[in-house]
Amino acid sequence: MENSVLVEVEGPIATIVINRPEVLNAINYDVLDGLEAAIDQVAADDGVRVVIVTGAGERSFVAGADIALLQDMDPFAGKAYCERGQAVYSKLEKLPKPVIAAINGFALGGGSELALACDIRIASSKAKFGLPEVGLGVIPGFGGTQRLPRLIGVGYAKELILTGEIIRADRAAQIGLVNRVVEPEELTATVRELAQAIASKSSVALSFAKDSINRGIQMDLDTAIAMEAVQFAVAFSSDDRAEGIGAFLAKRTPDFSK
Parse the chain into domains and list their residue ranges.
Answer: 5-199, 203-249
The model scores a pTM over 0.85: yes
18 bridge partner residues: 5, 55
- Over residues 112-167, the pLDDT tens digits come to 999 999 999 999 999 999 999 999 999 999 999 999 999 999 999 999 999 999 99
- Over residues 22-42, the pLDDT tens digits come to 999 999 999 999 999 999 999
Catalytic residue among 113, 186, 228, 243: 113
Helices (H), 138-253: 144-152, 154-163, 169-174, 187-199, 203-216, 221-235, 239-249
- Over residues 201-257, the pLDDT tens digits come to 999 999 999 999 999 999 999 999 999 999 999 999 999 999 999 999 999 999 998
Identical fold, 5-199 and 203-249: no
Rounded to the nearest integer, the mean pLDDT of the chain is 96
Q: Is CATH 3.90.226.10 the right assignment for the domain spanning 5-199?
A: yes
Give exposure, 101-140, as e/b (b: 16+ Cβ within 10 Å).
Answer: bbbbbbbbbbbbbbbbbbbbbbbbebbbbbbbbeeeeeeb
pLDDT band at 1 (very low <50, low <70, confident <90, very high): very low
Please say if 113 is a catalytic residue. yes
Phi-psi domain of 15 (left: phi exceeds 0; alpha: psi -120 through 50; beta: other): beta
Catalytic residue among 133, 183, 228, 243: 133
What would the CATH number be for the domain defined by 203-249?
Answer: 1.10.12.10
| 22 neighbors 66 (Cβ within 8 angstroms) | no
Please say if 185 is a catalytic residue. no
